[in-house]
Amino acid sequence: MKRKPSTEATAAWIRLMRIQSQVLGAVEQDLKKAGFPPLAWYDALLELSRAPSGEMRPVELEKQMLIPQYSTSRLIDRLVDEGLAARRECKIDKRGQFVEITEAGRELQKKMWSAYSAAIEKHVGSKLSDVDAAKLCGLLDRLGCSCGEAATLAARDGAPAR
Partner DNA sequence: TCAAGATTGATGCAGCTGCATTTAGTGCGG
Partner DNA sequence: CCGCACTAAATGCAGCTGCATCAATCTTGA
Q: How far apart are CA 64 and CA 58, in angstroms?
A: 10
Q: Which residues contact 97 (CB under 8 A, 6 or more apart)?
A: 57, 58, 87, 88, 89, 90
115: CB partners within 8 A, 6+ apart: 30, 31, 34, 36
3-state helix, strand, coil in the chain (%, to 5): 65, 5, 30
Nearer to DNA, 15 or 63 (CB): 63
Binding partner of residue 139 among DNA, a second copy, none, CB cut-off 5 to 8 Å per kind: a second copy
Is residue 97 a contact point for DNA (CB under 7 A)?
Answer: yes
Binding flag, residue 104, a second copy (CB under 8 A): no
Residue 74 site contact among DNA, a second copy, none (CB < 5 to 8 Å, cut-off depends on kind): DNA
Interface with DNA, residue 20, by CB under 7 A: no
Can residue 17 be called a binding residue for DNA (CB under 7 A)? no
Positions that interact with DNA (CB under 7 A): 38, 40, 57-59, 62, 67-71, 73-78, 87, 90, 93-97, 162
